[in-house]
């Protein structure tokens, strides 16, 4: 077990290794997530490399939804929110495809899980959504071809589930990806349904949501233009 005195000497790689191994092994013992969150804050998330940051995010989410203790879920929120803030400040252009996917998936799944079970521990939208947009932009700039079909489906779901998918910049490269017969046939049914559902969410939001409440909307309501 990890005691406070030992945690004080841990570096980013130590924290990410501990979290990843605990999540990968599906450890069902209570873990000192609050100590890890505290140590990460002491180090500052600026010291975490993209791989370390994305692993910590994915593992923290994975462990948090299993643990469910008040102190643990507050620690997970703290880690995810601080990591998202670092992405918002640093950007994600140096992230590999798997780093982008793991980071986006952890943020989106944590937000969704908190809403479904009624935990009042969601990350703040003003931190989470800009981070997701930056991750999506980095994925687009680096080329969607880096992602396998199920990875791209998960990434699009993560961004769309938090209303952060912008069709104007993301649509054309996404269309080019699915136009490839080789890529299209590689989608399994679940991945294809997830991708279509994500696009449907965005289309529904564009068509039905009141323009005045749409994020950064430039559409003028028809009644006010007359």
The pLDDT tens digits for 51-97 are 999 999 999 999 999 988 899 999 999 999 999 999 999 999 999 99
CA angle in degrees (0–180, nearest 5) for 27-159-18: 25
Q: How confident is the model at residue 224 (pLDDT cuts 50, 70, 90)?
A: very low
pLDDT of residue 27: 77
In Å, how far are 72, 94, 130, 180 from 56, measured between CA atoms?
Answer: 14, 17, 19, 34
Residue 135 in contact with residue 104, Cβ under 8 Å? yes
Instruction: Name the H helices within 119-188.
Output: 125-142, 149-161, 167-179, 181-186
Instruction: Please check the confidence at residue 222 and state whether its pLDDT lies above 50.
Output: no
User: Which two three-digit tokens encode residue 28?
Assistant: 């069902």
CB contact set of 197 (below 8 Å; sequence gap of 6+):
157
pLDDT of residue 9: 86
Q: How far apart are CA 65 and CA 57, in angstroms?
A: 13
Q: How confident is the model at residue 28 (pLDDT cuts 50, 70, 90)?
A: confident
pLDDT digits (tens, 9 = 90+) for 165-178: 888 889 899 999 99
pLDDT of residue 205: 75
Q: What is the pTM of this model?
A: 0.86
pLDDT of residue 167: 84
DSSP 8-state secondary structure symbol assigned to residue 92: S
pLDDT > 70: percent of the chain = 88
Residue written as token pair 């079909």: 149
């Amino acid at each position: 077990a990890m005691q406070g005195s030992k945690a004080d000497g841990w570096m980013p790689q130590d924290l990410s290794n501990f979290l990843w191994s605990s999540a990968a092994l599906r450890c069902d013992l209570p873990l000192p997530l609050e100590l890890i969150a505290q140590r990460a804050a002491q180090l500052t998330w600026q010291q975490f490399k993209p791989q370390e940051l994305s692993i910590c995010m994915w593992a923290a989410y994975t462990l948090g939804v299993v643990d469910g203790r008040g102190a643990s879920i507050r620690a997970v929120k703290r880690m995810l929110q601080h990591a998202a803030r670092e992405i918002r400040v640093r950007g994600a252009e140096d992230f590999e495809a798997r780093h982008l996917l793991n980071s986006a998936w952890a943020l989106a799944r944590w937000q969704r899980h908190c809403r479904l079970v009624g935990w009042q521990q969601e990350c703040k939208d003003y931190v989470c959504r800009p981070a997701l947009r930056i991750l999506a932009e980095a994925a687009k700039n680096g080329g969607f071809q880096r992602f396998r079909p199920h990875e791209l489906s998960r990434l699009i779901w993560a961004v769309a589930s938090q209303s952060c998918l912008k069709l104007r910049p993301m649509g054309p490269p996404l269309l080019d990806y699915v136009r490839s017969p080789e890529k299209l046939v590689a989608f399994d049914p679940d991945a294809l349904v997830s991708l279509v559902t994500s696009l449907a969410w965005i289309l529904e939001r564009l068509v039905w949501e009141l323009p005045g409440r749409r994020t950064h909307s430039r559409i003028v309501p028809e009644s006010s233009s007359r």
